[in-house]
Structure 1
Amino acid sequence: MRGNQDTTLRGQQVLLVPYEPHHVPRYHEWMKSPELQILTASEPLTLEQEYDMQRSWREDLDKCTFIILDALKWDQGIPEEQCMVGDVNLFLTDPDNPSLAEIEVMIADPSYRGRGLGGESVRLMLYYGVTSLRISIFEAKIGQENVASVRLFHKLHFQEVSSSEVFKEVTLQWEVTDLELHWLTNSTPFKMASYRETRDQTAHS
């Protein structure tokens, strides 16, 4: 989505940045993992196909993605590709209902799992979706065997709305209400900035 091509979202532990070509080689290495292929219901791609996918994420109006960086490493001036830990995505799945989006998060680096980065990344994406994209209902479709991810979304106030034995997945929803928006605002220290300016500042620090 072109709308987030110069946007960063900063939390306490994570910095979300747009998916750029220089992220692709590291991302491609991640997705060679059979475990991640199962958890994300993904097929292995060639490196060239991964570059095509990155261009799709940049251009398509119905997709929005951010790469998750370790903010502390970033602050230390460590090269961006070495700060990558995963990604968080929105899919606008229903052209007749632009206020509905599917959300997913992946912490690809196993050493970062269970440390709260996935939860913070989802909260930042919820806030961005509400304030910048006018999304009011978020859905998460998760494989039934992915217990950790189901537990994460329950902690983020998502409610289970359906379960499919055929597809072996559960669907959870988070709907914007005054109460939930108050919770989100108060649980998510949030800063939005220009990606180019953020990179320039880090390069000259």
Structure 2
Amino acid sequence: MKINSTIRIIGECVVLVPYKKLHVEKYHRWMMSPDLQALTASEPLSLEEEYEMQQSWLIDNDKCTFIVLDKYLLAEKGSEIEAMIGDTNLFLVDQEDRTRAEGEIMIAEPQFRGQKRGWEAMLLMFRYGIEQLGLKTYQVKIGLSNTPSIGMFQKMHFEETTRSDVFQEVTLECSVSEKWKEWLRENIKHYEIASDEMRNEC
């Protein structure tokens, strides 16, 4: 989305930045992993196709994409590429009702899994979606074998709505109530929207 192409969201342990050209090569290497392809239900793309995809996501009015950076690694290395650990997305799922979105989170670097980086990145995205995009309902689609991810969203108060044995996938949903927004704020220790100083390298 163009709306998120010039900002970054700063949390306690992660920083979310727009997906830019400089991130593509590392992202492409991640997506060559059969394990990540299986977890994200993705097909491998060529590097050229990945660059094209990055540009299409930048202008797509239905998809909000951020690269997840480890905040401490970014401070230590001073490099977004070295600090990249995953990505997170929101997809608007209904052209008429633009208040419903599907969320996704991927922590690609194994050493950062199980450290609440994915949890924090997803909560930051949910808050951004509510406050900046006017979202009122979230859903996630997760492979039945991905029990850690299912468990994480259940802890976020998502509830199962459908289950497909054919696609080996479960769908969970959460409605944005005042009570849930309060829970969200209580579970986000730091939330700041700042200008993205590298926005020209789109």
Instruction: Tell me the TM-score normalized by structure 1.
Output: 0.94
Partner of 1:193: 194
Partner of 1:134: 134
* Segments ≥4 residues shifted beyond 4 Å: none
1:115-174 CA deviation, whole Å, 9 max, x = no partner?
000000000000000000000000000010111111111111111111111211110111
Aligned-partner Cα distance in 2 for 1:15–1:98: 26
Aligned-partner Cα distance in 2 for 1:190–1:158: 22
Q: Tell me if structure 1 keeps the 8 A contact 2:8–2:196.
A: yes
Q: Quote how far apart the aligned CAs of 1:198 are.
A: 9.8
Instruction: Tell me the TM-score normalized by structure 2.
Output: 0.96
Q: Tell me if structure 1 keeps the 8 A contact 2:142–2:149.
A: yes
Partner of 2:29: 29
1:1-205 equivalence runs, <5 A: 1-188=1-188, 189-196=190-197
Would you say how many aligned residue pairs link Structure 1 and Structure 2? 199
Q: Quote how far apart the aligned CAs of 1:28 are.
A: 0.4
1:170-197 CA deviation, whole Å, 9 max, x = no partner?
1011111010000101211211100117
Q: Quote how far apart the aligned CAs of 1:77 are.
A: 4.2
Helix, strand or coil at the partner of 1:68 = strand
Helix, strand or coil at the partner of 2:197 = helix
Helix, strand or coil at the partner of 2:45 = coil
Higher mean C-alpha deviation, range 17-26 or range 74-83: 74-83
Residue segments in structure 1 that go unaligned for 5+ positions in a row? 200-205
Higher mean C-alpha deviation, range 79-88 or range 155-164: 155-164
Helix, strand or coil at the partner of 1:76 = helix
Aligned-partner Cα distance in 1 for 2:51–2:108: 18
Q: Tell me if structure 1 keeps the 8 A contact 2:6–2:199.
A: no
Higher mean C-alpha deviation, range 76-85 or range 51-60: 76-85
Aligned-partner Cα distance in 1 for 2:100–2:177: 14
Q: Quote how far apart the aligned CAs of 1:78 are.
A: 2.7
Q: Tell me if structure 1 keeps the 8 A contact 2:67–2:86.
A: yes
Q: Quote how far apart the aligned CAs of 1:76 are.
A: 2.4
Helix, strand or coil at the partner of 1:54 = helix
Aligned-partner Cα distance in 2 for 1:174–1:47: 35
Aligned-partner Cα distance in 1 for 2:148–2:54: 27
The alignment yields a C-alpha RMSD, in angstroms, of 1.4
